[in-house]
Amino acid sequence: MTAVLAPASRDIEQFDQYVMGTYARFPLVLERGRGTTVWSNEGKEYLDFVAGIATCTLGHAHPRMVQAVTEQIQKLHHVSNLYYLAPQGELARWLVENSCADKVFFCNSGAEANEAALKLSRKYAHSTLGIDEPVVLTAKASFHGRTIATITATGQPKYQKDFTPLLTGFDYIPYNDTEALVAAVTKYQGRLAAIMLEPLQGEGGVRPGDREYFQRVRELCDQHRALLILDEVQVGMGRSGKLWGYENLGIQPDIFTSAKGLGGGIPIGAMLCRQNCDIFAPGDHASTFGGNPFACAVALAVCHTLVEENLIANARERGQQLRAGLGAIAERFPQDIAEVRGWGLIQGLVLPEASAVQSRDVVKIAMERGLLLVPAGPKVVRFVPPLVVTAAEIDRAIAIVGDVFAELCR
């Protein structure tokens, strides 16, 4: 007699048979969600503090997103960038009016947005600075995407392994290290096109940028006419407690990128720039799906909801609550938690390097207890709930994390 598989096992078996294994997936099949809660195909409820990895800004099935999706799909979902598209223009206007940018290029993901930024910096180096072999400095432990250009920009060898030869024209500096920064800028004087950094390193371990460091970066870019590119893919759109991560650092970039939270889970990316480097001409760059009416209408609904529901302030307040709660757990388990760090609703619980416990161990036990978390490297547990998360949900998550460490450390 053939064994009858449970729904989760059946779906996982089929998935593994046909989908390439590019993710180390947890054995969980999610079926539906509402707000900050998701349910598996076996009916188990989970508190979602992953949010599609800092993507579901408004949580799941938010009425404003449902309305935007429904209305736009009934009108026009895609034609081509050969024509003018009102939703794209409206979204670009909102982004420009609410940032330091002057112009926007739309694409479909963070990697594509960063790719566009790198292309723009190379054209700027050639056409404006007269540099034949431009160099872009990025940070060690950074993460900018998985295309060939963006993994080259990513300062983590584990992502580059087996994909050589990488592109030329990149070098890496320690994050938040002013002395190393100055040395690198001096080394590449006359060739420096741009410095590309995350305001807070997400995949690199939830490491916030130092204000003084970033102000020095801005000064050096101005001095050498290089572009300052900020990757806001993970921290932008209110997650840091401000609309943009750079607002926490007291500077303005020449170029910055957005994706993830911009569409609230609908794929969209954007590369935004100031007037001084708005030099792309027709044919220099493009995206078939970039800025299509469907994605832009939903993203615009996300933008308006951020403001109308006061979600940036909620990210700041709930972030303070989360940080305080995790800090209290760290005090209970000082040998097992090294620190808590982050901004707003992107917080990292850092495990000691000497500990045998890995971030994935914490995530696995939390999942068994009904809380979804995500690693940010082997020693950091990342908390990135939707910006609609409530005080009660934060308290519930903190209680579960406390129980997890009580189990791990007994």
Listed in order, the ranges of the chain carrying CATH 3.40.640.10 are: 76-308
Residues with catalytic function: 143, 231, 260
What token pair was written down for 79? 């034609």
322 three-state secondary structure: helix
pLDDT band at 351; cut points 50, 70, 90: very high
Listed in order, the ranges of the chain carrying CATH 3.90.1150.10 are: 7-62+310-408
CA 58-65-38 angle, to 5 degrees, is 50
Q: Give the global pTM.
A: 0.96
341 three-state secondary structure: strand
pLDDT band at 376; cut points 50, 70, 90: very high
Mean pLDDT in the chain?
A: 96
Rounded CA separation 359/357 (Å): 7
Average pLDDT over residues 243-257: 98
Contact 47, 33 (CB under 8 A): no
Rounded CA separation 151/123 (Å): 20
Which CATH architecture describes the domain 7-62+310-408? Answer: Alpha-Beta Complex (3.90)
Beta strands in 87-206 (DSSP E): 103-107, 135-139, 170-173, 192-197, 200-201
Would you state the pLDDT for residue 6? 66
| Interacting residues of 371 by C-beta distance below 8 A, sequence separation 6+ | 46, 47, 49, 396, 397, 400, 401
Identify the burial level of 190 via C-beta atoms within 10 angstroms of its C-beta, where 0-12 means exposed, 13-18 middle and 19 or more buried. Answer: exposed
Average pLDDT over residues 372-383: 97
Query: Does the pLDDT at position 365 exceed 70?
Result: yes
Would you state the pLDDT for residue 1? 44
Q: pLDDT tens digits, residue range 170-188?
A: 999 999 999 999 999 999 9
Q: pLDDT tens digits, residue range 378-400?
A: 999 999 999 999 999 999 999 99
Rounded CA separation 213/199 (Å): 11
Q: Which of 168, 251, 179 is nearest to 215 (CA)?
A: 251
- Give the amino acid at 49: F
Percent of the chain with pLDDT over 70: 98
Rounded CA separation 355/335 (Å): 8
Q: pLDDT tens digits, residue range 51-96?
A: 999 999 999 999 999 999 999 999 999 999 999 999 999 999 999 9
Would you state the pLDDT for residue 9? 85
CATH T-level topology, domain 76-308: Aspartate Aminotransferase; domain 2 (3.40.640)
Q: pLDDT tens digits, residue range 97-115?
A: 999 999 999 999 999 999 9
Partners of 269 in the beta sheet?
Answer: 107
Would you state the pLDDT for residue 409? 83
Secondary element (H or E) of residue 227:
strand 227-231
Query: Does the pLDDT at position 4 exceed 90?
Result: no
- How many angstroms separate the first and last alpha carbons of the chain? 44
